[in-house]
Amino acid sequence: MIYILLGLPGAGKGTQGELLSQKLGIPRVSTGDILREAVRKGTPLGRKAKEAMERGELVSDDIVIGIVEDKLKSEECAKGCILDGFPRNLAQAEALEKMGLELRAIYIEVPEEEVVKRLSARRVCPNCGAVYNLLTSPPKQNGVCDRCGAVLVQREDDREEVVRERIRVYREQTEPIVEFYRGKGILEVVDGVGSPREVFSRIQRVA
């Protein structure tokens, strides 16, 4: 089974994807994490993706579809996986359909004001990838990762003007996918407001 997590930037796809991954014992595949890692390492893929990501726009379909196809064929995803951040437009959704896998989509619904608040308070660890929130899940020591001790940073695309652009791109290109999966009868909608644990119990009821 391939689970697809949908929702606005900051809706909690990464947070819930991690919890679901631990619960089901299948990996979370985040195209955003894969692209950010490539940018950080300065690989050819990273050089192609960097500009679009900094502007809050989508990286080209051929690049992203290629990444996901390779992952889904890999041994690590043999028992399924949780897709976080893919598909992000109808072309990507159709490419995924052609792979002929069993899909289930979970749409985490959160109001726009709430995601803007969450993203401005998000801090991430550049070393181990841990995610914090200054308002709801701060690190024990200010600015320092609990897990590995590295100095926490704000994601480049969490600056307010880029967040606005990401939301605009989401409304225009990603939101139509919700209807696409509803039409196929494989969509579950979950209220994403509440603590991460509360949201996760709702997800567990439908996953």
Q: Which residues does the annotation mark as catalytic?
A: 13, 88, 122, 155, 166
| Segment contacting ligand AP5 by CB under 6 A, of 39-47, 52-60, 93-101, 140-148 | 52-60
Per residue, the 3-state secondary structure of the chain, as one string, reads CEEEEECCCCCCHHHHHHHHHHHHCCCEEEHHHHHHHHHHHCCHHHHHHHHHHHHCCCCCHHHHHHHHHHHHHCHHHCCCEEEECCCCCHHHHHHHHHCCCCEEEEEEECCHHHHHHHHHCEEECCCCCCEEECCCECCCCCCECCCCCCECECCHHHCHHHHHHHHHHHHHHHHHHHHHHHHCCCEEEEECCCCHHHHHHHHHHHC
State which of residues 29, 39, 64, 105 lies at the interface with ligand AP5 (CB under 6 A).
64
Q: Residue 153 or 185: which CB sits closer to ligand AP5?
A: 153
Query: Which range of residues in 27-35, 38-46, 72-80, 175-183 is near ligand AP5 by CB under 6 A?
Result: 27-35
- Is residue 186 close enough to count as binding ligand AP5 by CB under 6 A? no
Count of chain residues binding ligand AP5 (CB under 6 A):
34
* Nearest residue (CB) to ligand AP5, 119 versus 185: 119
Residue 123 vs 185, nearer CB to ligand AP5: 123
Q: Does 31 bind ligand AP5 (CB under 6 A)?
A: yes
